[in-house]
Amino acid sequence: MNILVNITKKFCLIFFCLLGLNLCAQPLERVNPERSGFNPQHLQYADEVILQSIADGEIPGAVLAVVHKSKMVYLKAYGNKQVYPSEVPMDVDVIFDLASVSKSVSTAIAAMILIERGQLRLTDQVSRYIPDFQGNIRVLDLLTHVSGLPSYAQVDTLKKRYGFPNPDGMIEHISTVERRFEPRTTFLYSCLNFITMQRIIEIVSEQSLTDFASDNIYNVLGMSNTTLQPKSDMFEKIAPTEKQADGSVLLGVVHDPLARIMNDGNSGNAGVFSNAGDLAILATALLNGGTYNGKRILSPLGVKRMTTVPEALKQFGRTPGWDSYSDYSSNMGDLLSPNAYGHTGYTGTSLVIDPDNDLAIILLSNRVHPEDKNSVTRLRAIVANIVAASKIQ
């Protein structure tokens, strides 16, 4: 009898835990575009330009999601998620290597969470956390790309010097590498900024970025298809990226060489894998002042600070972790509000959030599959313009 009672208790505990997870992991309500004040006929122009990009061989496929007022007003898949070694159709649930979109949806948010908890300040010197780090560089300088650090590092050189993977060697290199300019005097987009920011987050939180982001962002919001260092059980859902010299394709491991080789996928500059549905949840949380489905990851003031260009750095157009109007912001298009912000990823991903219009545009592709040879810069801008123009109420 006692055995039966214990089994029943365990079953109930598991059931209610799973029920709780399901309650948290609620996708956005899907509604007809017309109900939300969008012109559905105009949105079809987005279908046309994406399909033309596929026909031109720029991308194998894509997923487009449009979020407005906490609802999914458009969600569509195009083409294939894989074309080599065989074709596999795209679907709306496919998970993509977000590349540098990771900077915003993991590292920047993680940093702001620690700032809200009183464990970090934007004005803190990097050397406070990494004693050997050279230069008068602040946390804010890393997040806005005005630190003076080089844009990247030669992976082959690092491999020979430190071996791989070797996150400590990566930080040792960044700490002493020659700076390109004095902090805050100009702008240079740099993956090294966000790898450094990752190390600070990990020192302060005493967790890997992978675990901290999952525990404090993705799991809180119920983003069950989002993670760094995805486990093999997710691989079937993931879109492959670039074909390798041995004929294999990268699948479930980050495309970016520094993130993949030196940091083993746990990296502040790239490495998050996610899909359109999960990014729609995150965008909604940010549009709602840091909360979704009763779960909060940031305060309204934290969201505002993270997504606003600092007054002293207005000329550079970068917020602490996001892009507003720098030379890298073409994915915003021409019609969104001046307060729109977002980020792009090298693999062909884009996230744009416009708080003034309560609107988010998510365009995900794996343009580096099977070969890294095409650009989606113009496509992103055109799609943003079409979506913005389709909003008529």
Q: How far is CA 366 from CA 39, 45, 138, 143, in A?
A: 28, 21, 34, 26
The CA-atom distances, in angstroms, between 281 and each of 15, 24, 64, 314, 391 are 25, 11, 14, 29, 20
- Helix runs in the chain, H state only: 2-24, 40-55, 101-102, 109-116, 139-144, 155-162, 167-176, 191-205, 209-213, 219-221, 257, 276-287, 300-306, 377-390
Q: Copy the structure tokens of residue 189.
A: 């987009």
Q: Which residues pair with 110 in a beta bridge?
A: none
Give the separation between CA 80 and CA 59, rounded to whole angstroms: 9
- Cβ within 8 Å of residue 305, ≥6 positions away: 112, 115, 320
Supply the pLDDT for residue 25.
61
Alpha carbons 72 and 356: distance in angstroms, whole number? 17
Question: What confidence score (pLDDT) does residue 26 get?
Answer: 84
For the chain, which ranges sit under pLDDT 70? Answer: 1-25
Cα 229 to Cα 6, 210, 344, distances in angstroms:
36, 7, 20
What pLDDT, in 10s, does the model give residues 42-52? 999 999 999 99
Q: Rounded to whole angstroms, how far apart are CA atoms 382 and 220?
A: 33
The span from the CA of 26 to the CA of 306, in Å, is 25
* pTM (2 d.p.): 0.94
From CA 391, how far away is CA 257, in angstroms rounded?
A: 39
Spatial distance between the Cα atoms of 292 and 282, rounded to a whole number of angstroms: 8
* Domains of the chain, first to last: 30-100+207-390 (3.40.710.10)
| pLDDT the model gives residue 213 | 99
> In terms of Cα–Cα distance, which of 175, 156, 104, 105 is closest to 262?
156
- Please tell me the predicted confidence (pLDDT) of residue 114: 99
Distance CA 108, CA 153 (A): 21
Cβ proximity of 368 and 346 under 8 Å: yes
Element (H, E) at 353: strand 349-354
Residue 75's nearest CA partner among 47, 99, 56 is 47
pLDDT digit string (tens) for 172-192?
A: 999 999 999 999 999 999 999
In this structure, are strands 88-89 and 96-97 parallel, antiparallel, or unpaired? unpaired
List, as one string, the DSSP characters of 24-65.
H-PPPEE--GGGGTB-HHHHHHHHHHHHHHHHTTS-SEEEEE
Burial class (CB in 10 A: 0-12, 13-18, 19+), 220: middle
- How far is the C-alpha of 285 from the C-alpha of 298, rounded, in Å? 9
Integer-rounded Cα radius of gyration of the chain: 21
Burial label, 178 (beta-carbon count in 10 A; 0-12, 13-18, 19+): exposed
